[in-house]
Amino acid sequence: MNFSWHTRALLAMASGVTLAFSFPNFNLSLLAWIAPGMLLLASIGATPAQGFAYGYLQGTLFYPICLPWIDTVMRQYGNIDLWSAAGVLALMTVVLAFFTAVFACGIAVASKKNVALACALAPFLWVTAEFGRTHMPIIGFPWNLTGYAASGNLALVQLTTVTGIYGLSFLIVAYSSLLVYAIYAGRQRLWKITLSVTGALTFVAGAGVYLVPSARAGYVAHLVQTNFPQSEEYPANWIQLHASEMDQLERISVGAAASEPGPIIWPEVPAPFSFQDPAFGDRARRIARDARTDFLVGVVDWKRDSAGKWLASNTVLLLNPAGERVFTYDKIHLVPFGEYVPLRRWLTFAGRLTADISDFTPGTAASVGNFPGGRFGVFICYEATFPSEVRKFTRNGAELLVNVSNDGWFGRSAAPAQHLMMARVRAVESRRWLLRDTNNGFTVSVDPYGRIVARMDTDVRGELDAPYDFRTGLTPYALLGDWFAWTCLVVTVFLLGMALSRSGASKLVPQSARPKN
């Protein structure tokens, strides 16, 4: 097949659009199974430079379509103008699209050897590119990895207990590669294999749901949704101005624990909550004492460094029933352009942004705390998108996962649903219950198999009785980490080495079926 350059460009563009439509709020998840194939078709037979360009074109459509909320958040809460916000989104797109460009370039190189090698390479190279995007220095961004498009299926998502989310990405791209190879080879037998694979996947995705075990919960936590509106800045007397709302939240929290014993959980700090501020600290201690239970709450915590300078951290504290502070977790992975500005010195075009955002100090330890009955690990907001980092809590002894977030920054964009989608997979990867408490939604309880067993309406103030339990044992992913992604990297190097070797073209694809240069 010898596509013209504009046909290849259209295929690359279609790949970016359809892949973006696979995620919330479009939710057309089946499109993900063909989207990588379109980029494959665009890249096979192209020169490496052309392949790189087609991959970049795919990425420059994919990211702005599924991540437009970045621009909105920058303008609404970053106090910067339209062009500066667009510049930050454009910069992110340019950086992130590099990984799909490398993928398409690699496919173009392999296709010079033969189509079979290019199609065999595709799922390994795609996972390698996503792994690179996740662990990119300074601004690694694993949001909306391809595998998440299939994570809504209860049967398919169980694969992540072994491979992590990268296994689902591999499965999707491998299927897309099989379709492309069937198109190029044009053999009846290969089409029969493709149809058989399609049928098997359909059966597993459909019937397999009924084979996933159920999990019983022996405990209940009280997840409080504070539902405070976001603001660019807060006056010094904010707690006093909102005393009636704080009283309401106190009544909700204490009343819930009085009706059924269980820890109280508040979300990532949704307002100027600081334990060092007596107006909040005294109230927090009173809630724990009056409820006679543990109280896990998000705050801005202030500490002095060795030079006596005050440093702020995004923190979760645990108060025991006596109101004593017994556990602290400081957020380790901060949000670029939200909690710190990467490359601040060079981003002169975003002057107001870099001036308005003060850097938080990151934590250093995946600490584990204690509830009655077992141990828990808590991770904050953006950290839910990093599977290898959440896994550390399980490795450190966490028998329950807690995710607190303030998704109020996102409004009612696609971001909260995308965020929940990713957090839910963390429960499956570690085979742990997940309690997820947010400021304004989505507040849920997720069982160790990925079922949402309790949820609260969005944009309301209230409390969710969230069932949970403690589980021990380590899944292959929790034990071994990103072994599958590393394996894909090794295979990618090997297959690219084959592509670059001097030996002749393979006969796996008939000469007539090979694209003409």
**Residues 242/244/248/251 CA torsion (nearest 10 deg):** 120
3-state secondary structure of 328: strand
Strand 264-265 and strand 400-405: the pairing is: unpaired
Neighbours of 140 (CB within 10 A): 14
Q: What backbone torsions phi and psi does residue 354 show, to the nearest 5 degrees?
A: -70, -25
Q: Which residue has the tokens 């909700």?
A: 252
- Residue found under tokens 């400081």: 330
137: DSSP letter:
T
What is the number of helices (H) and of strands (E) in the chain? 17, 12
Contact 28, 19 (CB under 8 A): no
Type of residue found at 244:
S
Give CA–CA dist 176/197, Å, rounded. 11
Catalytic residues: 268, 331, 381
Residue type, 159: L
Sheet holding 434-438, edge to edge: 368-371, 374-380, 400-405, 434-438, 444-446, 452-455
Judge contact between 81 and 75, C-beta under 8 A.
Answer: yes
Q: Rounded to whole angstroms, how far apart are CA atoms 238 and 228?
A: 12
Q: Which residues contact 218 (CB under 8 A, 6 or more apart)?
A: 373, 469
Please give the Cα distance from 151 to 172 (Å, whole number): 11
* Residue 356 in tokens: 């308005």
Q: What separation, in Å, do the N-terminal and C-terminal C-alpha atoms of the chain show?
A: 10
What angle is formed at CA 26 by the lines to CA 23 and CA 30, rounded to 5 degrees?
60
Contact 396, 371 (CB under 8 A): no
